[in-house]
């Protein structure tokens, strides 16, 4: 604060000197100065003036907060004490173990596929047999029906004349009773 | 160029096991004990090469190395493994299921088409559905690989124009995809 005041003082003097040297008069009344600002000195006890005390920041662990339920992704948390980076496989043993795992997996898959294919084949065969049996049954039924018709026809040739004679008689009797309509 | 991690090895071997079955052991053990063949990852592609060659590759800066050994396939961004046609020479001798296709079916297959039943000369009797099959011509030259649509038992009951093997890769790709096959 103090040095600013000091520096402000000599200015008017220099101004006066200038007017003298140049000979031109500058009326003091013409120049309007801004009203002097009131500078309030702050008390030392004011909170802004006092030295800031550093507030202690507590870490989460110190606060002893209850932990929230959260899911930790598997890939994020690395187990401690383990080497960082990729784990290469170049020794024969490591390769052999991976190979054994892969082989077992593939064999299982192929085996299950084969099993399923075999089951499906069995089912298909059973269905085929059933269909064939049904077809044969149908055929035999048809043959039977055909035979019965043939037999009927053969039987009719011998005994039919008698039967027919009887039937014609009965028919004629029935016809005699019936009313008949004739057109001229 | 680096070794594969455990997870990568498992993914790759399980994919190869689709085509090779238990014979995949022959790939890893190999015939030469002093200089076994190894799998190496460069970029996202997996190469199969002799370990002595792989050791030499450490002398070349990664950015300067384009390819080394036989490319088996590549890892996708999702982590899956895609077998490339370049792996055919390695898979074909140790494959589990083979399908021989007739001469009239060779060209349709080499143009990327699926195999129909009429084009198949003979194939293994015990192929389950959706199994990896190596497609060869009648002179036992490998042409590509695919996945069986139906099991070999069920294929007896389907029409000659029905698809039996879905094409996965064929040697026609060397011409068709010349520009993208070896880009890294």
Nearest to A103 by CA among B24, B82, B27, B11: B24
ipTM value for the complex: 0.81
To the nearest 10°, report the CA torsion of B34, B35, B39, B45. Answer: 170
Residue A16 has pLDDT above 60, yes or no: no
Let me know: does B54 contact B79? Beta carbons within 8 Å: no
- Contact status of A142 with chain B (Cβ, < 8 Å): no
Residue A2 has pLDDT above 80, yes or no: no
pLDDT at A90: 74
The end-to-end CA distance of chain B, in Å, is 13
Reported as a pLDDT band with limits 50, 70 and 90, residue A168 is low
CA B40 – CA B60 distance, rounded (Å): 14
- Which of B22-48 are b and which e, b meaning 16 or more Cβ less than 10 Å from the residue's Cβ? eebeebbeeeeeeeebbbbbbeebbbb
Let me know: does B155 contact B164? Beta carbons within 8 Å: yes
Residue B112 has pLDDT above 90, yes or no: yes
pLDDT at A17: 45
Enumerate the domain spans of chain B: 6-91, 97-175
Better pLDDT: B107 or A36: B107
Let me know: does B19 contact B145? Beta carbons within 8 Å: yes
- Contact status of B65 with chain A (Cβ, < 8 Å): no
Choose the mutation target among A85, A103, A122, A124 for the interface with B, i.e. most B CBs under 10 Å: A103
Give me the residue from A98, A103, A121 closest to B153, CB to CB. Answer: A121
Task: Supply the mean pLDDT for chain B.
Answer: 91
Residues in chain A closer than 8 A to B17 (CB atoms): 102-103, 106
The pair of three-digit structure tokens given for residue B177, joined into one six-digit string: 């995809």
Enumerate the domain spans of chain A: 97-154
Q: Distance of alpha carbon B59 from its chain centroid, rounded?
A: 30
Q: Distance of alpha carbon A31 from its chain centroid, rounded?
A: 80
Let me know: does B158 contact B117? Beta carbons within 8 Å: yes
Let me know: does B135 contact B166? Beta carbons within 8 Å: no
- Contact status of A128 with chain B (Cβ, < 8 Å): no
Query: Would strands B115-116 and B120-123 be described as parallel, antiparallel, or unpaired?
Result: unpaired
Interface size, chain A vs chain B, as Cβ–Cβ contacts under 8 Å: 62
Residue B153 has pLDDT above 90, yes or no: no
pLDDT at A149: 93
Kindly calculate the radius of gyration of chain B based on its CA atoms and give it in whole angstroms. Answer: 17
Q: State whether residue B40 is helix, strand or coil.
A: strand
- Contact status of A84 with chain B (Cβ, < 8 Å): no
Let me know: does B172 contact B111? Beta carbons within 8 Å: yes
Residues in chain B closer than 8 A to A96 (CB atoms): 28
pLDDT digits (tens, 9 = 90+) for B1-10: 889 998 999 9
Q: Which residue of A has its CA nearest to B20?
A: A103
Q: Give me the CATH code for the B97-175 domain, please.
A: 2.30.130.10
Helix (H) or strand (E) holding B142: strand B142-148
Better pLDDT: A167 or A80: A80
Mean pLDDT of A42-48: 76
Nearest to B159 by CA among B119, B122, B106: B119
**Would you call A113 and B2 a contact, using CB atoms and an 8 Å cutoff?**
no
A30-44, A89-103, A148-162: least confident range? A148-162
CA B143 – CA B110 distance, rounded (Å): 7
CA B113 – CA B10 distance, rounded (Å): 30
Q: What number of CA atoms fall less than 13 Å from residue A27's CA on the CB side?
A: 2
Residues in chain B closer than 8 A to A110 (CB atoms): 21, 128, 131
- Give the DSSP letter of residue B118: G
Q: State whether residue B2 is helix, strand or coil.
A: strand
- Give the DSSP letter of residue B5: B
Q: What percent of chain B has pLDDT over 70?
A: 98
Q: Give me the CATH code for the B6-91 domain, please.
A: 3.10.450.220
Is the pTM of the predicted complex or chain greater than 0.80? Answer: no
Reported as a pLDDT band with limits 50, 70 and 90, residue A6 is very low
- Contact status of A117 with chain B (Cβ, < 8 Å): yes
């Amino acid at each position: 604060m103090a040095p600013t005041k000091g520096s402000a003082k000599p200015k008017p003097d220099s101004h006066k000197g200038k007017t003298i040297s140049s000979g031109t008069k500058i009326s003091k009344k013409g120049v309007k100065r801004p009203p002097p600002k009131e500078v309030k000195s702050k008390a030392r006890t004011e909170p802004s003036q006092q030295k800031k005390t550093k507030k202690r920041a507590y870490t989460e662990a110190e606060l002893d907060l209850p932990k929230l339920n959260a899911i930790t992704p598997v890939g994020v948390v690395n187990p401690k004490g383990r080497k960082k980076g990729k784990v290469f496989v170049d020794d024969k043993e490591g390769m052999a173990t991976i190979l054994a795992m892969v082989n077992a997996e593939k064999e299982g898959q192929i085996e299950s596929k084969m099993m399923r294919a075999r089951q499906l084949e069995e089912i298909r065969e059973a269905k085929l047999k059933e269909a064939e049996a049904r077809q044969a049954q149908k055929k035999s039924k048809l043959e039977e029906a055909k035979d019965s018709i043939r037999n009927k026809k053969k039987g009719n040739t011998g005994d039919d004349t008698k039967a027919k004679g009887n039937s014609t008689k009965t028919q004629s009797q029935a016809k005699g009773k019936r009313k008949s309509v004739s057109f001229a | 160029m680096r070794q594969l991690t455990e997870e990568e090895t498992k993914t790759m071997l399980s994919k190869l096991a689709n085509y090779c079955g238990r014979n995949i052991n022959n790939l890893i053990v190999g015939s030469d004990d002093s200089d076994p063949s190894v799998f190496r990852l460069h970029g996202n592609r997996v190469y199969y090469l002799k370990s002595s060659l792989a050791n030499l590759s450490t002398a070349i800066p990664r950015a300067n190395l384009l390819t080394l050994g036989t490319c088996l396939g590549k890892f996708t961004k999702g982590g899956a493994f895609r077998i490339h046609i370049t792996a055919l020479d390695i898979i074909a001798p140790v494959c589990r299921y083979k399908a021989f296709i007739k001469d009239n079916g060779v060209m349709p297959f080499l143009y990327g088409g699926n195999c129909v039943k009429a084009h198949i000369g003979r194939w293994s009797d015990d192929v389950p559905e959706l199994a990896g099959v190596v497609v060869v011509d009648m002179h036992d030259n490998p042409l590509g690989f695919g996945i069986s649509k139906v099991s070999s038992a069920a294929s007896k009951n389907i029409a000659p124009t029905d698809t039996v093997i879905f094409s996965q890769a064929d040697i026609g790709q060397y011409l068709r995809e010349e520009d993208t096959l070896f880009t890294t």
